[in-house]
Structure 1
Amino acid sequence: MTVSFSQWLEESREHLQAENRSLPSRLARPLYYVYVGALLSATKHYRWGTNVFDREWDLLVVLDACRVDALREVADEYDFLGDVEPMPSVGSTSFEWLNHTFGRGHADAIARTAYVTGNSYTQRVLTQRGDTGHAAMPFGPTDYDVVPPEAFGYIEELWRADLEGDPEWTVGSGDRTRRSPRYATDRTIAAARERDADRLIVHYMYPHDPYPLAEPALFEPFDPLRAGDVSRQRVWDAYLDNLRFVLDEVELLLENVDAETVAITADHGEAFGEYGFYRHVIGCPLSCMRRVPWVETTATDTGEHDPAAPDPTETGTVPARDRLEQLGYL
């Protein structure tokens, strides 16, 4: 987060004057970021939730913004999804999850880990030590004790790849397109076969919105949902389709890597109007955001899939800000 009392005052003033928000919402936002400053100050030193490095796994599959109840709802459709257990996350946003997962206290394990990620917060967290550039709180920690990118055994930041206009690696049409999860699948299979690492993490940016397979009104659904223009059920159904879309890729992944213990989890959950919250917000204690799934399975490389996705360093680069804007953060 950005720590600036003057910026917090200015943003609070602008929000209080916003006519498209209810009065309770306008009053609550400034106070909420005071709470966030206090919470981040506390959790920087006293962790809340379970760090994934404290559990046993060879391959960790992170489904961004996946809720426990959502994964349970579709579990019968996938043989590799058995019991979906809940686990308290170390954050309610990717910003918190990255900061609290990749701390220097786990540096030895991180040095033996390959991380293939579509989440562009790696730039702002691992390189800039926690400055998101989004919203301001009046006080709080200005940096975190996170490892730098070079501390990983291997790191591949998929979001850097410039694949715009390439139909093989994008999904959707017109202005409503996103990077296909197949890109992450292929690059992870390549990393599993070519890199020497004790552990492997793949961070898919699904079922996180936007929803490129949905009807146009549901591509970016949370503002219409908040305004009452679409029903919660319609948005939920689109969310589940986005989840199925990535789970199809996870199925392919598990047939093309060797891993005795695979864990499928999420960095945080998602809110669909619970207590007036939508999407996911920093420091939120609600279980819909703070509780994530944990499923264990296995994987065997059949060698049947030949990954064709280009190395992101060979495609040209896209600024992290562009990816964050596409995901509705800026």
Structure 2
Amino acid sequence: MHRIIHRPLEILREGGPRALFRKSCSKLNRQFYRNFTTGHFNSSGTSVFERDWDNLLILDACRYDIFEEVNSFRGDLETHCSLGSSSREFVRANFADRTLHDVVVVSANGWYKKISDTSGKINVDVHDLIVVDNKSVESHKSDIDTVRPDREWILPEAVTNEACDAIERYPNKRIIVHYHQPHTPYIGPTGKEYAGELPQKFDGKEELRTSHEILRRAYRENLEIVLEEVGGLYPELTGKTVISADHGDLLGERGFPIPVREYGHPSQAYREELVRVPWFNLPFDERKEIIAESPSDNRKNDLSIDEVNERLKKLGYKI
């Protein structure tokens, strides 16, 4: 009961009546979509483990339509229907009740560790789980201060560095590399220029104080930045590599049935912009020999659950 009362008051205090109205309408719209699914996930979606890949590169909050516009790699673009409209749902739905000792996860997204350490029913049961931080990128401090010092995110260079290390250590494992971008904060030129006017968390308490054109431009730049990193990682990979996403993102589209503008990627909101994501097959010469082995005893994961919780809070997730 305390949380039911506290959350609206928090939004009203920090975002004002308009933010509270929009958040309330968005919640009703989410209830509309939940009425057409079963269970706690998008029942129309498909697990990534039911699809064919040796290396899966996940771009966080990547929309299909903007990926199609921005992508310049050779390959075949398909659509994939995600099991969730948020990272938490994506991880829970794809990893629940699965033994994946042939998989290594390199992730800038804290939900893999959060769910493994705190869930009584769901565990990310993989050979190795590597949660990335910015320590391997010397220039990260100045970049973070330029955008929003009160926000937490992982630079794509740090993810690529850890991924290259994992590829070398685990040549016979399927590799999942989960980048943070194009998720907020926006770290490209437009994101830096309009840092004080662009919402950085889309948690209902921040308002868009600029145009939707600028918002989409900032989002595109984030996608371009992470795709440049993918271009550097791809030659290091052996086997069949796929670029996909955990979910999409709302950039001011009108909701349904209540036509308020909506932003971000709330859980249990199974509209097309959030669950229709790219599935891009990159060219390859030969497949990897995949071997399942017991989980690594030397997991390269230095983050405590408290550090993961703090990171998720700064990204706008409710913990």
What 5-or-longer segments of structure 2 have no aligned partner? 255-260, 287-298
What 5-or-longer segments of structure 1 have no aligned partner? 130-142, 302-310
- For residues 6 and 138 of structure 2, the distance between their equivalents in structure 1, rounded to whole angstroms, comes to 41
Amino acid at match of 1:72: E
State whether residues 88 and 292 of structure 1, in contact with CA within 8 Å, keep that contact through their aligned partners in structure 2. yes
CA-CA distance at 1:146 after TM superposition = 2.0
- For residues 316 and 147 of structure 1, the distance between their equivalents in structure 2, rounded to whole angstroms, comes to 16
Deviations along 1:19-47, whole A, 9 cap, x unmatched? 432674365366567x3996799324883
**Any idea what SS the aligned residue of 2:18 has?**
coil
Match of 1:123 among 101, 105, 113: 113
Q: Which residue of 2 aligns with 1:154?
A: 128
- 1:98 paired to 2:83: no
Distance 1:190 1:289, change over 3 A: same
Aligned residue runs from structure 1 range 51-200, under 5 A: 51-75=47-71, 78-80=72-74, 82-104=75-97, 106-107=98-99, 110-129=100-119, 145-148=121-124, 151-158=125-132, 161=133, 163=135, 166-167=138-139, 171-174=143-146, 176=148, 178-200=153-175
Amino acid at match of 1:155: L
State whether residues 96 and 122 of structure 2, in contact with CA within 8 Å, keep that contact through their aligned partners in structure 1. yes
After the TM superposition, list the runs of 4 or more consecutive aligned residues in structure 1 that deviate by more than 6 angstroms. Answer: 36-41, 223-226, 314-318
Distance 1:102 1:317, change over 3 A: closer
Distance 1:111 1:169, change over 3 A: farther
- For residues 300 and 223 of structure 1, the distance between their equivalents in structure 2, rounded to whole angstroms, comes to 40
Match of 1:203 among 132, 157, 178: 178
Aligned residue runs from structure 1 range 1-330, under 5 A: 5-12=1-8, 19-21=16-18, 24-25=21-22, 27-28=24-25, 31=28, 35=31, 42-44=38-40, 47-75=43-71, 78-80=72-74, 82-104=75-97, 106-107=98-99, 110-129=100-119, 145-148=121-124, 151-158=125-132, 161=133, 163=135, 166-167=138-139, 171-174=143-146, 176=148, 178-213=153-188, 214-218=191-195, 221-222=198-199, 227=207, 229-259=209-239, 261-275=240-254, 276-298=261-283, 313=301, 319-329=307-317
- For residues 76 and 173 of structure 2, the distance between their equivalents in structure 1, rounded to whole angstroms, comes to 25
Deviations along 1:55-88, whole A, 9 cap, x unmatched? 010000000000001111112xx233x3432211
**Any idea what SS the aligned residue of 1:230 has?**
coil
**What TM-score, normalized by structure 2, do the two folds share?**
0.77
Q: Which residue of 1 aligns with 2:293?
A: none
- For residues 209 and 183 of structure 1, the distance between their equivalents in structure 2, rounded to whole angstroms, comes to 17
Amino acid at match of 1:167: S
State whether residues 64 and 79 of structure 2, in contact with CA within 8 Å, keep that contact through their aligned partners in structure 1. yes
State whether residues 211 and 220 of structure 1, in contact with CA within 8 Å, keep that contact through their aligned partners in structure 2. no
- For residues 144 and 285 of structure 2, the distance between their equivalents in structure 1, rounded to whole angstroms, comes to 31
Deviations along 1:260-311, whole A, 9 cap, x unmatched? x11110000000111221011111122111211110013579xxxxxxxxx9
**Any idea what SS the aligned residue of 1:284 has?**
coil
State whether residues 41 and 93 of structure 2, in contact with CA within 8 Å, keep that contact through their aligned partners in structure 1. no
Distance 1:57 1:250, change over 3 A: same
- For residues 171 and 201 of structure 2, the distance between their equivalents in structure 1, rounded to whole angstroms, comes to 46
Distance 1:73 1:219, change over 3 A: farther
Q: Identity across aligned pairs (percent)?
A: 25
- For residues 263 and 45 of structure 1, the distance between their equivalents in structure 2, rounded to whole angstroms, comes to 23
- For residues 178 and 39 of structure 2, the distance between their equivalents in structure 1, rounded to whole angstroms, comes to 23
State whether residues 163 and 169 of structure 1, in contact with CA within 8 Å, keep that contact through their aligned partners in structure 2. no
RMSD (Å), alpha carbons: 3.5
State whether residues 113 and 197 of structure 1, in contact with CA within 8 Å, keep that contact through their aligned partners in structure 2. no
Distance 1:40 1:6, change over 3 A: farther
